[in-house]
Amino acid sequence: MSKRRVAYFYDGDTGSYTYGLGHPMKPHRMRVTHDLVSAYGMLDKMHVLRPKRATPEVMSAFHTDEYIHFLNRVTPETAEELTYHGTRFLMGEDNPAFEGVFEFCSISAGGSISAAQRISSGAADIAINWAGGLHHAKKREASGFCYVNDIVLGILELLRTYPRVLYIDIDCHHGDGVEEAFYTTDRVMTCSFHKFGEYFPGTGTQEDRGRGKGRNYTVNIPLKDGITDEAFKRVFEPIINKIMEIYRPGAVILQCGADSLAGDKLGCFNLTMNGHAHCVQYLRAFNVPLILLGGGGYTVKNVARTWTYETACALGVQDDIDPNLPWNEYFEWFGPRYRLEVPENNMDDLNVRDGSLDKVRATALQQLSQLPCAPSVGMHEVPRESLGRHLGLDIAEEGADEDGGADDLDRRLAQHSRFVYKLQEPGGGSDESDDERYESDGSSYRRRKRMSILSNRVVSVDPDVGRGPPRGRRFFKSAVRWDETYGRVRLGKEPVLGSLNGNRLGGMMDVTGRSTPGGDVTMEDWEDGTSV
Ligand code: CO
């Protein structure tokens, strides 16, 4: 296979953060991966770059200022107050306010944005950021271990240069945050392969296809437990091939979430390292600018093996590297075989047994057959000048002077995100059915359904507390107030009431009498037996 110029983004600090003892998401896996990549001698074969960290301003191209301001100042000590007892911004035990959370996000997001810039400038054919791929993060809140959506920020960067961007997601979980951000535009096509059915985040059916101009530009491939390499290939190849043929993206982002591997602690698929990496090889062969991002992956040694092997695939040296692991700092973790492999296990493939796989593939191909070839192509060779219209905004004329440049582009992209979210908010969009009315002490109020990635159970959060900025907002037994003058959260004089269920944020989710998310799962189950 021919050579590709590969840019590899890595910040040596990324592995130092921890979500907390017993939390399944271990940033340390990035350091283990890097160590293995290094031990295989691959660093000399690519441009190794330390990404510029993303600033709050940069993150606000997608996220609300209020949320980023919160992330930038929250600490483990202030989390209880600043999240209004876990009803806002963060998602219980899934998304703890760990020490250094903002810097961790700035590294992850900075890497994906830098990767996009490297691709756009033409300096690389493939760019890698294993610290990225945090696909669940929402505009105004964290979700499923993700706080800042580095993928959305990277795609926004690519849209400065490319008329069409394709996003593919092979994490075991639905790529909901990215899908939501680009649900109404044809400039980004999203395609997610994921487990569906009593599984976080509970979205991603084949009925969800995008809205307005974005109709049919959202592709979802819902799968069942135990999918093997061969079965996965049978949906992945024809669907991706069809998308590449008709959509003709200028650049592709592949989210390589490794929780779709066999033996993952939270995933339920049965892919081997080779089956997972086949997706990378398959996309590389199209010779379209490609960004590889990380994502989920909770059996650390297998994550490290797979992302190492996929780095080799990007370089095209996968057949040259020794399947016996070279000595490295974490060598003893890889016993007893010490090999670069993730074998399949003996679980049943429910996709094949009931024939659902073929139906899912047929439905997706049918959806794709309704699309025109390469939308917008040729209409505007220079997308910089027509972003507003491409994104479904008709604000191009208003205040857009010729030398507005990047700042104006940022403004318009940000406006687009707001526009999309307006369509999608309860009452105005597709998640309307997620709202319920409850009677409590004679008063009624709305709750929005959300799921925990730890327990795969629905938790309820009061949306009136969760949405800002506030007017006459109820602060839920808290002394916390919104300060109109400074536009930020302020702590009142009254002591914050000692929570509903002790001080754990997860306990605060227990407002409907459901059990605490993750309450029946032993934290030790997630431990690797190795300290972080
Ligand atoms: Co995942």
pLDDT digits (tens, 9 = 90+) for 108-125: 999 999 999 999 999 999
Rounded to the nearest angstrom, the distance between the alpha carbon of 466 and the centre of ligand 1 is: 24
Name the token pair of 214: 């974005």
Tell me what pLDDT residue 91 has: 78
Sheet containing 188-195: order of strands = 47-49, 6-9, 126-129, 290-293, 251-255, 165-169, 188-195, 218-223
Beta bridge partners of 191: 168, 219
**Is there a domain that residue 30 lies in?**
yes
Rounded to the nearest angstrom, the distance between the alpha carbon of 257 and the centre of ligand 1 is: 6
The CA distance from 141 to 425, in Å, is 13
Q: What SS3 class is residue 320? A: coil
- What average pLDDT score do residues 27-42 get? 98
Residue 35, Cβ density class (10 Å: 0-12 exposed, 13-18 middle, ≥19 buried)? middle
- What average pLDDT score do residues 201-226 get? 97
**Is there a domain that residue 181 lies in?**
yes
Query: DSSP string covering 277-303, please?
Result: HHHHHHHHTTTS-EEEE-----SHHHH
Per DSSP, which regions of 103-224 are E strands?
126-129, 165-169, 188-195, 218-223
User: Which contiguous run of DSSP H or E holds residue 247?
Assistant: helix 229-247
Q: What SS3 class is residue 334? A: helix
Q: How far is CA 243 from the centre of its chain?
A: 21
- What average pLDDT score do residues 167-188 get? 98
Rounded to the nearest angstrom, the distance between the alpha carbon of 496 and the centre of ligand 1 is: 35
517 Cβ partners below 8 Å, 6+ apart? 92, 93, 94, 452, 454, 455, 457, 459, 506, 509
The angle, 0 to 180 degrees and rounded to 10, between the axes of the packed helices 273-284 and 229-247 is 20
The CA distance from 325 to 336, in Å, is 11
Q: How many residues does the chain have?
A: 532
Over the chain, what is the mean pLDDT? 81
Give, in order, the Cα–Cα distances in Å from 506 to each of 98, 230, 517.
14, 39, 6
**Is there a domain that residue 111 lies in?**
yes
User: Which contiguous run of DSSP H or E holds residue 10?
Assistant: none
Rounded to the nearest angstrom, the distance between the alpha carbon of 297 and the centre of ligand 1 is: 7
34 Cβ partners below 8 Å, 6+ apart? 10, 12, 15, 130
Tell me what pLDDT residue 412 has: 55
Which residue would you say has higher pLDDT here, 429 or 314?
A: 314
Rounded to the nearest angstrom, the distance between the alpha carbon of 480 and the centre of ligand 1 is: 33
Tell me what pLDDT residue 341 has: 98
Structural domain containing residue 194: 6-370
Q: Categorize the per-residue pLDDT at 448 as very low, low, confident or very high, splitting at 50, 70 and 90.
A: low
Query: In this model, does residue 154 exceed pLDDT 70?
Result: yes
Number of domains comprising the chain: 1
pLDDT digits (tens, 9 = 90+) for 227-265: 999 999 999 999 999 999 999 999 999 999 999 999 999
Name the token pair of 158: 């690519």
**Is there a domain that residue 436 lies in?**
no
pLDDT digits (tens, 9 = 90+) for 451-498: 999 999 988 665 444 444 433 222 332 334 444 555 444 443 333 222
Percent of the chain topping pLDDT 90: 69
28 close to 300: Cβ distance less than 8 angstroms: yes
Query: In this model, does residue 271 exceed pLDDT 80?
Result: yes
Tell me what pLDDT residue 440 has: 35
308 close to 40: Cβ distance less than 8 angstroms: yes
**Is there a domain that residue 26 lies in?**
yes
**Is there a domain that residue 343 lies in?**
yes
User: Which residues are known catalytic residues?
Assistant: 136
16-25, 368-377, 474-483 — most confident range:
16-25
Q: What is the dihedral of CA 20, 24, 25, 27, to 10 degrees?
A: 70
What's the CATH number where 147 sits? 3.40.800.20
The CA distance from 85 to 438, in Å, is 20
Q: What SS3 class is residue 459? A: strand
Query: In this model, does residue 427 exceed pLDDT 70?
Result: no
- What average pLDDT score do residues 437-456 get? 57
**Is there a domain that residue 445 lies in?**
no
Rounded to the nearest angstrom, the distance between the alpha carbon of 262 and the centre of ligand 1 is: 13
Which residue would you say has higher pLDDT here, 365 or 492?
A: 365
Closest by Cα among 171, 190, 14 to 107:
14
Name the token pair of 350: 């429910």
Tell me what pLDDT residue 238 has: 98
Cα end-to-end span (Å), the chain: 38
Nearest-Å Rg of the Cα atoms of the chain is 22
Tell me what pLDDT residue 330 has: 97
